[in-house]
Structure 1
Amino acid sequence: MVRKARNTGVAAARRPEVRLPPLGPFGGGGLEPDGDYDGLELAGLDLAGENGAGARFLDCALRDCVLDETSLTGARFIDSVLTGVRGVGTDLAGASLRDVEVVDARMGGVQLHGAVLERVLVRGGKIDYLNLRNARLKDVVFEGCVLSEPDFGAAQLERVEFRDCALRQVDFSGVRMRDVDLRHVAELEVARGMEGLSGAVISTAQLMDLAPAFAAQLGVRVED
Structure 2
Amino acid sequence: MVRRTGKKTRVAAARRPEVRLPPLRPHEGGGLEPDGDYDGVELAGLDLSGGDGAGALFLDCALRDCVLERTSLVRARFVDSVLSGVRGVGTDLAGAALRDSEIVDARLGGVQLHGAALERVLVRGGKIDCLNLRDARLTDVVFEGVVLSEPDFGAARLERVEFRECVLRRADFAGARMRDVDLRRVSELDVAGGVEGLSGAVISTAQLMDLAPVFAAQLGVRVED
TM-score strictly above 0.5: yes
Which residue number corresponds to residue 187 of structure 1? 188
Deviations 1:15-40 (A, max 9, x none): 00000000011012111000000000
Q: Distance in 2 between matches of 1:214 and 1:171?
A: 14
- Say yes or no: does 1:153 pair with 2:154: yes
Q: Distance in 2 between matches of 1:13 and 1:213?
A: 27
Q: Distance in 2 between matches of 1:48 and 1:138?
A: 29
- Say yes or no: does 1:20 pair with 2:11: no
Identify the structure with bigger relative contact order (alpha carbons < 8 Å, sequence gap 6+).
1
Q: Distance in 2 between matches of 1:20 and 1:215?
A: 49
Unmatched 5+ stretches in structure 1:
1-5
Q: Distance in 2 between matches of 1:28 and 1:97?
A: 23
Unmatched 5+ stretches in structure 2:
1-6
Q: What's the secondary structure of 2:91's corresponding residue?
A: coil
Which residue number corresponds to residue 3 of structure 1? none
Alignment of structure 1 residues 26-175 onto 2, 5 Å: 26-175=27-176
Q: Distance in 2 between matches of 1:220 and 1:151?
A: 25
TM-score by length of structure 1 reads 0.97
Q: What's the secondary structure of 2:215's corresponding residue?
A: helix
The residue type equivalent to 1:221 in the other structure is R
Q: What's the secondary structure of 1:215's corresponding residue?
A: helix
Shift of 1:188: 0.3
Q: Distance in 1 between matches of 2:29 and 2:41?
A: 11
Q: Distance in 1 between matches of 2:50 and 2:9?
A: 47
Q: Distance in 2 between matches of 1:210 and 1:88?
A: 31
Shift of 1:220: 1.2
Shift of 1:41: 0.4
- Say yes or no: does 1:201 pair with 2:202: yes
Which residue number corresponds to residue 212 of structure 2? 211
Q: Distance in 1 between matches of 2:9 and 2:52?
A: 46
* Number of equivalent positions: 221
Aligned identity (percent) is 82
Q: What's the secondary structure of 1:9's corresponding residue?
A: strand
Q: Distance in 1 between matches of 2:33 and 2:224?
A: 61
Shift of 1:7: 5.1
Q: What's the secondary structure of 1:102's corresponding residue?
A: strand
Q: Distance in 2 between matches of 1:220 and 1:53?
A: 48
Q: What's the secondary structure of 2:83's corresponding residue?
A: strand
Measured on the aligned residues, the alpha-carbon RMSD in Å equals 1.4
Shift of 1:223: 2.0
The residue type equivalent to 2:50 in the other structure is G
Q: Distance in 1 between matches of 2:149 and 2:218?
A: 22
